Amino acid sequence: MEQGRQLRSRITPIPGLLLFELPVHGDGRGWFKENWHRARMLAAGLPDFGPVQNNISFNAVRGTIRGIHAEPWDKFVSLASGRIFGAWVDLREGPTFGTLFTAELTPGEAIFVPRGVGNAFQTLEENTAYCYLVNDHWSAESQKDYTFLNLADEHVAVPWPIPLESSVVSAQDSKHPRMGDVVPMSGRRTLVLGADGQLGSALRHAFAGDSTVEFAGRAQFDITARESYEAVNWRDYSTIINAAAFTAVDAAESAEGRAAAWSINAAAVSRLARAAVEHSLTFVHISSDYVFDGTAEVHFEDEVPAPLGVYGQSKAAGDLAAATVPRHYIIRTSWVVGEGRNFVRTMASLATEGVSPTVVDDQWGRLSFASDIAPGIRHLLHSKAPYGTYNLSNGGKPQSWHEVARDVYRLMGADPKLVLPISTADYAKPNTAPRPRSSVLDLSGIRATGFDPPSATQRLAEYLKSLEL
């Protein structure tokens, strides 16, 4: 052990496998080290992997070998005493499958081993204490998710300092398959919930062909049902995208609707957030302009919520729950248009029938096409943008609902003058939910990540061309 050195990490040929040098402070009594220091190690490059269990493997005999095991969780390995020869083999799907990295470890070194990287060691001294933190709880059942490689595999050819025939090896480790028979460990997957709604359908298109993304409608995963959570092996996932929501704004003002809105938009989101925290997942949650009262002309991501109605209140509560997840993206949208029933489709149908509707002219915002929200979500995930809240609507000049309706009529070949203006106060009916006056979202945050939503007027024209009424 080299005393007095600084904490630092170095990369290896295996992506995500990081070797750390640890400061060790010694005197005549022995030595001391900080074996794991979250803040300092994050600064040195360690992922915030959220360990939940600490294990120690004590090895009395020199030449003891354990491995090669690729486990379905991340681990941080260090020594309390002794010295080892470590061997790590990438057993994940991908171009680095089969890559080998070796190093000697003493108490002055540590290594972060990501999920799916095979881990093995040979003790070079007696009484070696091998310690490791993992971010999931071990169980006998979890071993079925391991991927194994034979210690003597000729393809990888680990250069064991002490020959295998002179080492202490368990019978089980001696029977593991050679490289040609190893099935690579698949990567963690993304789970899209609410996959049958407007945004869910757009997400299916955005992630089409990506086998790592799974889609679940309410029949497959009911976010309000405890049984749905218990049926999922969360260690198989890295990300949850929650596209499920109660969106009947006016119905939320009734007793039955109020309970449903809070159950789906708040209580269920809290449960999803807890699952994300417990299993170190990235959580993508969809917010709404209704969390604001609309008094500000333009809404920024850091504006304090001030919802007017039950729907907005339930969404604001869900946002607060989602924000407790360390790795979260809260996507705030407005005036969503996608497959199925929506304002634009309704106006287009009325235009073809020559109906003269009255549409409010004192609420302002921009349309948000689901076909652009979904790629925006994919962009944030793939680009690893900073976590936090992002406004995501289409761009262009803000319009009133009345102006949008007139554009629909014009593009459908109908007379825009058929669309008559009306104030919110005059339009309101009993049990109508209050709406924010301004729903205009500032888009500088999402644009700073490299995603620039097209203008709403451009997307409106394209949407109407493809519409089948």
Instruction: Tell which residue, 182, 387, 186, has the closest CA to residue 301.
Output: 387
From CA 446, how far away is CA 395, in angstroms rounded?
11
Residue 69 designated active-site:
yes
- Residue partners of 120: CB distance under 8 A and separation at least 6: 65, 66, 67, 68, 69, 86, 87, 88, 89, 151, 158
Query: Given 37, 69, 229, 379, which residue is catalytic?
Result: 69
- What is the residue whose two structure tokens read 């007793």? 255
From CA 353, how far away is CA 349, in angstroms rounded?
6
Residue 311 designated active-site:
no
Helix axes 401-411, 343-353, angle to 10 degrees: 50
What's phi and psi for 463, nearest 5 deg? -65, -45
Q: Six-digit token pair at 276?
A: 């994300």
Which residue type sits at 20? F
Range list of H helices, 414-455: 424-427, 444-448
Q: Could you give the 3-state DSSP secondary structure of residue 174?
A: helix
Query: Given 130, 132, 329, 463, which residue is catalytic?
Result: 132
The residues assigned a catalytic role are 69, 132
